[in-house]
Amino acid sequence: MSKEKQFVTEITPQGEDFSRWYIDVIKKSELMDYSPVRGCIVFRPDGFEIWEHMKDELDRRFKETGHRNAYFPMLIPESFFQKEKEHVEGFNPELPWVTEAGGEKLEERLAIRPTSETIIGHMYAKWVQSYRDLPLLINQWANVVRWEKRTLPFLRTTEFLWQEGHTAHETEEEARAETDQMLGIYKDFAENFLAIPVIVGQKTPSEKFAGAVDTYSIEAMMKDGRAVQAGTSHYLGTNFAVAFDIKYLDRENTQQFAHTTSWGMTTRMIGALIMVHGDDRGLALPPKVAPTQVVMIPIGPPKTREQVVGRVDELYKELKKAGVRVKVDDRSDVSPGWKFNEYEMRGVPLRLELGPRDMENGQVVLVSRLTGEKRMVAQADLVVEVERMLAEIQSGMLERAKQFRADHSYSVETLDEMKTLMEEKRGFALAGWCGSEACEKQVKEETGATSRNIPFEPFEHKTKCLVCGDKAQHTVVFARAY
């Protein structure tokens, strides 16, 4: 069997088994590998570089809005979790505990960080004394551990990487403005950096963050029609301030509790990126986040090889100087066709081919991973044309994902319609909801779909609850989710 033939058959088609396709792609493209600990993965260089590009872009945006980075311990005393009852009840099933160290049993159990509201609340109580200390705008890049029963690489792992922002403010108005601002940053980042369209809205009370007053989210649709919660922003009110005694003297010299927020985005976005854009050929990565944006492949017989490779190296330096993430594959032990397949599978947005005839004509061939279009480009215009094609691919990927979401978004009126939809099709369902937790729970039990959020801009406003038929208090997006 040829290398080319074998290569293609190693990836399960999406239509045959989407879950198997996903595992095949992330393994074959060397984004990760399994670790010896259940539910934990090793980020290989390409997978970690994708996260680095995400991290750098988000970090830039956070700092532009006045936030600064800090770091807090990953071990949190058990007593801290007892101070906010709803919070501990929400996280207790997922908490791993350290009970012994240095051969001795600890006086108090230490939780391995599932999130940092408690430890940060403890520190904020020390740092905040006056209104002059506010607002306090801090972000942390860290790892967290949640003992998941069912795991899936990137999307749901026992340990994952993330950023968590934690802020404290004088007033509810300021804290809510912060919550909205960070939600907007997440939306813009997802759509204009990752090319992932998202639905922005508020979580229902049963789905909000444990201890929050209100939780807001961005929800993305995968190619199997399931949802991924892509980012969340929480208005915590004074809940954690009361629990941890975060008080300040206001402008009238009166003691007040601070209003706090938290917001986060995780490495599950790598999984979302793969499931939103990938196809039967493998990964398809938006240029802004791709580890390699352009792969250069010299083509031709051995007698011209040295000259062609020499010119490729010159063009490589031009692209590198322009800030393009570019790689040259001049291996002679595999065919150009094998390389084409390999880099398509790895999701490299743009391929550059250069052969003897191209040398004579002063041109190169550029091939889009998104459309397969081949474009002859003058070598003298290479940098400009590469930048143009990368921008086209970036915007084209967003539009393609938007169209897929539109084609798989449905309007339902009754629970029976929802059942049929979830059994026979894939996608999101927009439905009316009376606000009753019992009705929401019944949808989940009978269809497997959960409320994703109450969208700020639904494509249609509903008037009746899909379960009980009473007047709808909200229009809600429902979907099966990861």
pLDDT tens, position by position, 395-411: 999 999 999 999 999 99
Structure tokens that stand for 248 in this block: 């300040």
Residue type, 241: A
Give the SS3 label for residue 108. strand
**Res. 193: pLDDT tops 90:** yes
Q: How far apart are CA 161 and CA 47, in angstroms?
A: 12
Q: How far apart are CA 298 and CA 306, in angstroms?
A: 10
State residue 88's pLDDT score: 65
CB 469 within 8 A of CB 475: no
Residue type, 77: P
Across the chain, how many H-helices and E-strands are there? 15, 25
Instruction: With cut-offs at 50, 70 and 90, classify the pLDDT of residue 4.
Output: very low
Instruction: With cut-offs at 50, 70 and 90, classify the pLDDT of residue 85.
Output: low
CB 274 within 8 A of CB 286: no
Instruction: Give the pTM.
Output: 0.94
- At 294-315, the pLDDT tens digits run 999 999 898 888 999 999 999 9
State residue 302's pLDDT score: 87
State residue 148's pLDDT score: 85
The overall average pLDDT reported for the chain is: 95
- At 144-190, the pLDDT tens digits run 999 988 999 999 999 999 999 999 999 999 999 999 999 999 999 99
Q: How far apart are CA 313 and CA 326, in angstroms?
A: 11
Q: What is the mean pLDDT of residues 285-302?
A: 96
- At 12-38, the pLDDT tens digits run 999 999 999 999 999 999 999 999 999
Residue type, 348: V
Report residue 147: phi and psi, to 5°: -80, 85
Q: How far apart are CA 87 and CA 81, in angstroms?
A: 7
